[in-house]
A and B are shown apart, each in its own frame.
Chain A
Amino acid sequence: MTDTLKTTALHDLHVDLGAKMVPFAGYDMPVQYPMGVMKEHLHTRAAAGLFDVGHMGQCFITAQDGTWETAATALEALVPASITDIQPGQQRYTQLLDDDGGILDDLMVSRIDMPGHEHMLYLVVNAGCKTADYAHLDTHLPDDVTLSVKDDMLSLVALQGPKAVEIVSAMNPLVGKLTFMTHGEFELMLDDGPIFAHVSRSGYTGEDGVEISAKHDDMKRLVGQLLSHPDVKPIGLGARDSLRMEAGLCLYGNDIDTTTSPIEAGLIWSVQKHRRTGEGYKGAHRVAGDLKTKTRRLVGLKPEGRAPARAHTEIQDEDGNRIGEVTSGGFGPSVGGPVAMGYVDVPHNKPGTSVNLMIRGKTNPATVVKLPFVPNNYFRGE
């Protein structure tokens, strides 16, 4: 089994750090380090947690005519977000949709901010979807637009938490000028010399922080130096999941997939107003349709008591009728109790609605709540 799994450039380091390794999206990845999920989670919210996300897909889209407009217009036909108006240095969250408006993957789209490279789109996609994503893009991008996959060359890490930016800013003070969902190319001064890295102020924890892309060998040096900082601890996939759940962020494969639309998933904030008309991209009719015909919505669920409600737990109304299903659920270390997300039929999605979660055949009361469970700490500028 293990010999068929892929590894990231940081794999040996995880093993040396004593990580418990598990198969995830075809990769042998650290689920937790000796510190344990609970402490890793709390450390990230208190200081800075380092995540290896090198299993995710990184690729560039460029047009043969060398213009931003051609490349951006081509991607804009496949996602609900507005792409053509992205400025150099801006980053946007969106989804690849199929013809029925189902979600093939969710992704980050950036426009490179470097002289001579401002026509380039940089995408980060999910590990479990990347092969299918690349095939989808290859098929549906026009012939004069090129997809370049960089997974063999680039590593990706996230440093998340209140101290993350201060720590990276010590390697280049300009990093501290970034605001949430912006990015740039930076020379980071390490003790053994500089490296060149792409840094974005974003993440998957609800905390302030950055995601850093660099060549594999440069990344090993960067990670070595980051881990020597007393406030930085390595964090595994276990805490990554509990952190994103508390932050109310969707996980592809759990909360969103080809059966769910961006509107049902509560991702309307990622669909700009002029992109809600029902045309202009693959699956646009579903986005517009789901805005009118409100059938079901993804909501936060706060279970009473301490029993976690895991994915696929049935949700019932107070009369015992099935109204939906939990898609993500577990224990929130910062909340100090169970948290869950799931789809419920409208109008049960109203915050404050009392519902029942059927855990192992028993009725567990819960309340529909607004997401996130823990307030976001994004840096949007002074």
Chain B
Amino acid sequence: MLKFSKDHEWIKVEGDTATVGISDYAQKQLGDVVFVELPQVGDEVDAGGELAVVESVKAASEVYAPVSGEVTAVNDTLEGAPETVNASATGEGWFVKMTVADAAQLDALMDEAAYKTYCDGL
């Protein structure tokens, strides 16, 4: 199940690992993604701290970690094909895989229905 942050990141927890990316709403707002700067495997990130930078034709936007943890993998295909983020934001366009240091942080995130209501109000 996907959970969403107010900053438009999504997170999907499977066992010990979570996959993180930006929402479909976010990719539509950004427009054509031309570059994604990803962290290094092994980087420790804090919830709400900078995780990645996504660049569209027009501007650079920061992507924040929805929870604290350690980066265990990054999506290398985004280096050569950043447009994957536009084509499949919540699928092949994922950014990183990471551990979840504190599962309680997940409770602060929105489920899909709550996130949709949140976006409709923006």
Asked whether A36 is an interface residue with its Cβ less than 8 Å from the other chain, the reply is yes
Supposing A36-B31, A38-B31, A360-B53 touch, asked if A238 and B58 sit within 8 A by C-beta, the answer is yes
Q: Of the candidates A36, A241, A306, which one forms a contact with B82 in the assembled complex, judged by CB atoms under 8 Å apart?
A: A306
Asked if A31 and B58 make an inter-chain contact with CB atoms under 8 angstroms apart, the answer reads yes
Per-position 1/0 for A21-40, Cβ under 8 A of B: 00000000001100011100
Chain A residue contacts of B53, Cβ below 8 A: 360
Chain A residue contacts of B79, Cβ below 8 A: 306
Asked if A306 and B57 make an inter-chain contact with CB atoms under 8 angstroms apart, the answer reads no
Asked whether A242 is an interface residue with its Cβ less than 8 Å from the other chain, the reply is yes
Cα–Cα distance between A359 and B32 once the two chains are bound (Å): 20
Q: Name the residue of chain B whose CB is nearest to the CB of A37.
A: B57
Asked whether A308 is an interface residue with its Cβ less than 8 Å from the other chain, the reply is yes
Cα–Cα distance between A238 and B57 once the two chains are bound (Å): 8
Asked whether A307 is an interface residue with its Cβ less than 8 Å from the other chain, the reply is yes
Main SS at interface, chain A: mixed
Interface size class of A (residues with CB under 8 A): 10 to 19
Interface residues of A in 307-340 (CB under 8 A from B): 307-308, 310, 330-331, 333, 338
Asked whether A233 is an interface residue with its Cβ less than 8 Å from the other chain, the reply is no
Asked whether A244 is an interface residue with its Cβ less than 8 Å from the other chain, the reply is no
Asked if B32 and A306 make an inter-chain contact with CB atoms under 8 angstroms apart, the answer reads no
Per-position 1/0 for A221-255, Cβ under 8 A of B: 00000000000000000110110000000000000
Chain B residue contacts of A238, Cβ below 8 A: 31, 57-58
Q: Name the residue of chain B whose CB is nearest to the CB of A241.
A: B58
Chain B residue contacts of A330, Cβ below 8 A: 57-58
Asked whether A41 is an interface residue with its Cβ less than 8 Å from the other chain, the reply is yes
Asked if A307 and B35 make an inter-chain contact with CB atoms under 8 angstroms apart, the answer reads yes
Q: Of the candidates B32, B37, B82, which one forms a contact with A360 in the assembled complex, judged by CB atoms under 8 Å apart?
A: B37
Chain B residue contacts of A338, Cβ below 8 A: 34-35
Supposing A331-B55, A360-B37, A360-B53 touch, asked if A310 and B31 sit within 8 A by C-beta, the answer is no
Q: Min CB distance, B101 to chain A, in Å?
A: 25
Task: List 30 contacting pairs A-B, 8 Å CB cutoff, sorted by A.
Answer: A32-B31, A36-B31, A36-B32, A37-B31, A37-B56, A37-B57, A38-B31, A38-B32, A38-B57, A41-B57, A238-B31, A238-B57, A239-B57, A241-B58, A242-B58, A306-B34, A306-B79, A306-B82, A307-B35, A307-B37, A307-B55, A308-B35, A308-B55, A308-B60, A310-B60, A331-B35, A331-B55, A333-B32, A338-B34, A338-B35
- Give 15 A-B pairs besides A238-B58, A306-B35, A307-B55 with Cβ atoms closer than 8 angstroms: A36-B31, A37-B56, A37-B58, A38-B57, A306-B79, A306-B82, A307-B35, A307-B37, A310-B59, A310-B60, A331-B34, A331-B57, A333-B57, A338-B35, A360-B53
Interface, chain A (partner B; CB < 8 A): 31-32, 36-38, 41, 238-239, 241-242, 306-308, 310, 330-331, 333, 338, 360
